[in-house]
Structure 1
Amino acid sequence: MELRNLKTFQVVAEHLNLTKAAEQLGYSQPTITLQIQALERELGHPLLNRVGKRTFLTPAGKIVKQHTDQLFYVLQHMAEGLNHLDMPVGPLVVAAPEFYCIQYMPQILKAYVETHPQVNLQVISCTSQETLRKIQAHEADIGIIAGTTSQPGIHSSVVDLEQFTLIASPDLMKDKTLADALVTFPFLSYQEGCNLDEFITQCLVELNYSPPSVIKCSSEETIKRSVLNQTGIALLSKVLVEKELRSGELFELYRFSKKAETSLVCLGRRREEPAIQTFMELVKDIWLSVREE
């Protein structure tokens, strides 16, 4: 049984006027007549009666009209339900280190809610490793991490390559060379398991640097403020310290050749969910422009 013929019958039964039905459906009257006749042959009952210039539903026509109305009501709601699958709705929890939350997230959130106001966003500030743990534990839907990951079940997509630099306070470096700093001052670094351990090791090897002592910090902001306070030297993203380098509050000792990835992460099986997919696409589209502001 063709839905097209049923739809034609529904419109004809609603108007009981072939001319109006033809105008609404965009068919010719002979086409409508052929479709109704085909439906009547398939059902084995006449559906319409004509008395003079007026059209009436037969008893069978009234039954078919009732069920046809119900059928297309269900089909309409099915289509609406399927359309909602393509629209991001509901809660979306985003986890990211503090630096990304401060530097990038305000602009990203503004752009996303303007396009998808029906999504309820929540942002959690935590380390890259904690971000990955929250993704695995379903405590966050999507994350932004320093570096990348090969954890099973996690989809990772690189959005940026960050330049890293070795920095110090100008006051700390008075009358001292890079060689002096490398053997004299403590090295401020991330806590182990920060997801940049391998990258940091490679940078230290490039500089042939073995710190005399290491101070572990929980966040990039803590490291930067400690360097500003002349506690020691540190390796940080150039984006994080660009303002202080321009103002002269910090001094660049060495710029590393290797760059660190910044990655979007989510559970692989959830990557095509509308809210996650649209958020990831937006971040990729505007990340670099936000960084350059």
Structure 2
Amino acid sequence: MELRHLEYFLMVSKELHFTKSAEKLGISQPTLSHQIKMLEQEVGYPLFNRVGKRIELTKVGEIVQQEALNIQGSIQSITSQIAAFTKVEIGELKIAVLPGEITDLVSTLCIQFNHLYPNIKVLIETTDQVEKAVIENRADFGIGFQLNQYDMLQVTKLYDEEFYLISNQSHEEQTISFSSVLDGPLILFPGLHQCRKILDITSDEVGKQLEPIVETSSIQSILNLVRSGVGRSVVSRTLYEFYDTEDLFFQHIEKPSLTRAVYLVMKKNCFINYPARKYIKLLVREIEKLHFHTEKDSITSLRSAIL
């Protein structure tokens, strides 16, 4: 079994289309089909079910795909270890994040990271499938919420955070009920935003309809509209801490409170390259500096893994 056969197979298993796969691989479609047939003969079972022009992985194909990804990851790990040993501060960092404020957190930290390591290129993939990006080696690590557990992934809880109601006026009461939050005009992120999803679910639970007067995906626009008195907003503590909000006021939300956990996901037993180690250390330092609620055992274990 040759490595190129596995490379061809992984491309077809990803695209599920021989012609598109052949174009991406830079070979002819008949050549690709022949190579896949050779691999199937060596395995002894069909790897794809062919139904007209459509194809899908067989059960054996799914097994081969998983092991091929492991082999691909091991080869990339060898390359990463050599690069980390010979070119410590040169290379690239690939991060997968869920759409929303975590993207803002990661991007904001990139300013500090670039200042410290100007020769390291940072690639941020915003995706709803953070785990898949890590498994397929498109990312060195991922950050998200409520990540699914996979045997080949190591998931570490970074911190718990809450959501604040923010406005341009001070309040005697430090807390406010969720129902009261919905009584005033709101400026919120669009429905696909992770923060908004939590608000939509909670408003359904309390039997009220969420009707913002402004929706925007720009956190700066939200903050400016709140400053001008157009309305109030609900933002995560992550965003509140990472942006200039000294002129704004916040209240804790209760009945129910709005909180969530933030996780970091990496491949198990996989070499963590130099850029990833440095970025994760920077991330943990920022989390602790902002006094987020962390689980000491998880952070200690993470530190041990990236030393």
Give the structure-2-normalised TM-score: 0.46
